[in-house]
Structure 1
């Protein structure tokens, strides 16, 4: 029966389908002669995208060299509406494959001996040049969507601590839990996981997850779905409020996580010291506060997010960012947007105790490790929506104390993000 439905819809086509490279089309290759829309009607939707990020060091950094680095990501995904296809009420299945390549300007501005990393000036470069199975999950909605269960290979940032962000610097990217938490692997890394969400009221929800932690997920074989070698489980819990006062969307999220994974315990002790006490809290606040000429698709949005991680197992123990974005700043370019953000990252004091201990143990036999404190990140961007499927987003970044080493010269960088949907 589902195949008959797909066939009949494809045959019907779409009279007003976008052609390839039509400037109004949301996809570069258009509607495939109506077949793409027909497949969506039948229950199969596709998402093909490209993100490329360049960063040029204008001044400063560890090497103080004027170099340009480029990193990118290709993503191919498909969602299957199982209710339309197989009459499984309230069910869908998602599969996404990603491929990352390139290098980051952090290689030139960060101290090469830093024990703990700071932020990334090209967030798309994280986790190395490799293809991965990033999403592979089944979702079931129950009780008129009051309860939602999700099972499979899931990046933690798919559901927890999410925020709409167009910044290139990771310090302003979605999910403070995934970016700065202990033993938390975020997109494009996925892990076997389960997420249960209860939509308590129209604007309130609570959700709980269980994510298997396995360092094999970090290896270059991004399609290895092994379960052997598991190190433990991470449990995030999040409460959320999503109001829309006067039609202006908002999101207020408060979360907690804990895991039973053995992690390096910093302090005056060897690197082999571990602890399974890994906990943290995080928050996300994002609220549109104005509409342009009564149009909620344009206007000013404010945001802040942050987290705090537990004692001696935390590399970054405190993080906070604040900023603002504006959609449609000019009447002649209503689809453009712009943003500014400031962020602060603090390296755990126990890391410096470990650094002092290690330097004393290796005195005279190795280059001393640098002490670390805090890093500040700032970014200003303007995004040109060139067509419905293509955007170009130049940005200016400032990194104070790159890799949280205050002896490293503060760095200025010019960046550019290119996004295309196929």
Structure 2
């Protein structure tokens, strides 16, 4: 799903190129940008790059913050000079603390300097299984709307470094991933029932301290913004080296590592908790978070209030950014460990004490098409995760892919990419009953593994609006090894406002 991280933390602004119209986007990123920015251009930022690490930051000065890239991650890193692609994440609601372009607020007369920001997004898609799977020829439709409201305490009352934010989420969808028998899903918009929901998605207060070296955010949060988020851009200052959205892939593993599915809160099951980030230098960070862990009991934490009953989800992550080679190609690496507390029921019906796991991820610029002129070219990413628990559907995971930016003549804001997601499943003979609860008695195992390969082309129709066709092939659907290989197509539209 709409976000494994290029580092964790702060949103970053992007906007139109000088002389062109365009949507501005705030991306949850490792860098903690808290100083107001007086130039909202896609390729020019007045202040120096912010610190690497820290929970997502307040919006920058300008037309607004926004939507995509994870996800959650659609924007360029802070840059000066040059021009860059505006590739976004295929599901901004999964990777970005702030969404949209703030055009909604401007429509109602909210100026950028007012300290109040109102924005949002709409994502809709249609996914069909062309061949194979559980239901060949069938289609699933999904629609997601998020409204975003935030308040800058410094602009409103002189309190430096503070920000209050909230989001409302509405989702209407169908069991799209079941059509292919896929786990993890090939369409990240649809997660778990209920598939029609309205919820308070986020409600948080964020404070930065000591020149952004320490940042915390408390309230109802989406931890996948700040942890294990591979979609976020690599932080660089020069636009011609920037990696925009690391990937526009739409499958679930690009937004949340499958080895944490069912335990880590995220889209669209946010949870009450605390995220703290320490940034010793501008290129390194240490993050820690603790959250309501009742998702492990199948509670819909996005729809419910907090439960403080001994079930908690803890996670810590460390990472750094770097430049490699004679052309100083940007890259990043992060590694994290997580733990779930409380008594959990395993698939063999035994009760176990909690669950634990680890992950790492990274991204690297591989090729500059026009070195020193713009950021067109190719980047790559990789992911890994593992856990030690028989309560988890996925036990190990490896993923990777490539993304091309601005490679089509006359289409500088388009991107394309491919990805591979290989998930190794729980081998317990009862694990498959999660997907086939009404099957006759007897063993119902998952597939030993699910391999999923996907390609896409993301085109900007006009500033703030993106259309993306995707083709996904799943030779070994994960829900059961008897399910034939599936070929699925998805058409997705993302609108930021």
* TM-score range for the pair, normalised by the shorter chain length: 0.7 to 0.9
Following superposition, the deviation at residue 26 of structure 1 comes to 1.9
User: Within 2, Cα distance between the matches of 1:151 and 1:161?
Assistant: 19
What is aligned with 1:285?
362
What is aligned with 1:235?
314
Task: Give the counterpart of 1:51 among 123, 129, 146.
Answer: 123
Following superposition, the deviation at residue 76 of structure 1 comes to 0.7
What is aligned with 1:146?
213
The answer to whether the aligner puts 1:170 opposite 2:242 as a matched pair is no
| Higher normalized helix content (fraction of residues) | 1
Look at both structures and tell me which one has the larger radius of gyration over its CA atoms: 1
User: Within 1, Cα distance between the matches of 2:221 and 2:102?
Assistant: 29
What is aligned with 1:84?
155
Task: Give the counterpart of 1:72 among 114, 137, 143.
Answer: 143
What is aligned with 2:332?
251
Q: Is the 8 A contact 2:220 2:272 kept in 1?
A: yes
SS across alignment from 1:193: strand
What is aligned with 1:118?
183
What is aligned with 2:89?
none
Q: Is the 8 A contact 1:104 1:121 kept in 2?
A: no
What is aligned with 2:6?
none
Q: Do the aligned partners of residues 259 and 371 (structure 1) sit closer, same or farther apart at CA in structure 2, a change above 3 Å counting?
A: closer
Moved more, 69-78 or 40-49: 40-49
User: Within 1, Cα distance between the matches of 2:431 and 2:157?
Assistant: 58
What is aligned with 1:418?
493
Following superposition, the deviation at residue 81 of structure 1 comes to 1.3
Following superposition, the deviation at residue 396 of structure 1 comes to 0.7
Q: Is the 8 A contact 1:131 1:222 kept in 2?
A: no
User: Within 2, Cα distance between the matches of 1:36 and 1:283?
Assistant: 43
SS across alignment from 1:225: coil
Give the alignment's TM-score, normalised by structure 2: 0.70
SS across alignment from 2:478: helix
SS across alignment from 2:462: coil
Q: Is the 8 A contact 1:377 1:398 kept in 2?
A: yes
SS across alignment from 2:120: strand
User: Within 2, Cα distance between the matches of 1:367 and 1:325?
Assistant: 44
SS across alignment from 2:267: coil
What is aligned with 1:6?
none
What is aligned with 1:374?
449
User: Within 1, Cα distance between the matches of 2:369 and 2:363?
Assistant: 18
Q: Is the 8 A contact 2:459 2:466 kept in 1?
A: yes
Deviations 1:161-220 (A, max 9, x none): 11223211113x22327x734522221211111111000111000011111112499667
User: Within 2, Cα distance between the matches of 1:219 and 1:334?
Assistant: 44
What is aligned with 1:8?
none
Following superposition, the deviation at residue 29 of structure 1 comes to 9.5
User: Within 1, Cα distance between the matches of 2:342 and 2:301?
Assistant: 22
Task: Give the counterpart of 2:294 among 206, 209, 214.
Answer: 214
Following superposition, the deviation at residue 277 of structure 1 comes to 3.2
User: Within 1, Cα distance between the matches of 2:151 and 2:332?
Assistant: 27
What is aligned with 1:298?
376
RMSD: 3.1
Q: Is the 8 A contact 2:264 2:295 kept in 1?
A: no
Q: Do the aligned partners of residues 335 and 371 (structure 1) sit closer, same or farther apart at CA in structure 2, a change above 3 Å counting?
A: closer
Deviations 1:311-336 (A, max 9, x none): 32332100111100011112300000
Following superposition, the deviation at residue 298 of structure 1 comes to 2.0
Q: How does 1:211-360 map to 2 (within 5 A)?
A: 211-215=291-295, 222=302, 224-227=304-307, 230-244=309-323, 248-266=329-347, 269=348, 271=349, 273-293=350-370, 294-349=372-427, 351-352=428-429, 354=430
Task: Give the counterpart of 2:196 among 101, 122, 129.
Answer: 129
Moved more, 47-56 or 332-341: 47-56
Following superposition, the deviation at residue 404 of structure 1 comes to 4.6
Give the alignment's TM-score, normalised by structure 1: 0.82
User: Within 1, Cα distance between the matches of 2:305 and 2:102?
Assistant: 34
User: Within 2, Cα distance between the matches of 1:241 and 1:37?
Assistant: 40
Q: Do the aligned partners of residues 94 and 248 (structure 1) sit closer, same or farther apart at CA in structure 2, a change above 3 Å counting?
A: farther
User: Within 2, Cα distance between the matches of 1:80 and 1:29?
Assistant: 15
Q: Do the aligned partners of residues 223 and 175 (structure 1) sit closer, same or farther apart at CA in structure 2, a change above 3 Å counting?
A: closer
Q: Is the 8 A contact 2:22 2:463 kept in 1?
A: yes
Following superposition, the deviation at residue 248 of structure 1 comes to 4.6
Following superposition, the deviation at residue 124 of structure 1 comes to 0.7
Q: Is the 8 A contact 2:292 2:306 kept in 1?
A: no
User: Within 2, Cα distance between the matches of 1:185 and 1:96?
Assistant: 16
Which runs of 5 or more residues in structure 1 are unaligned? Answer: 1-17, 111-116, 359-363
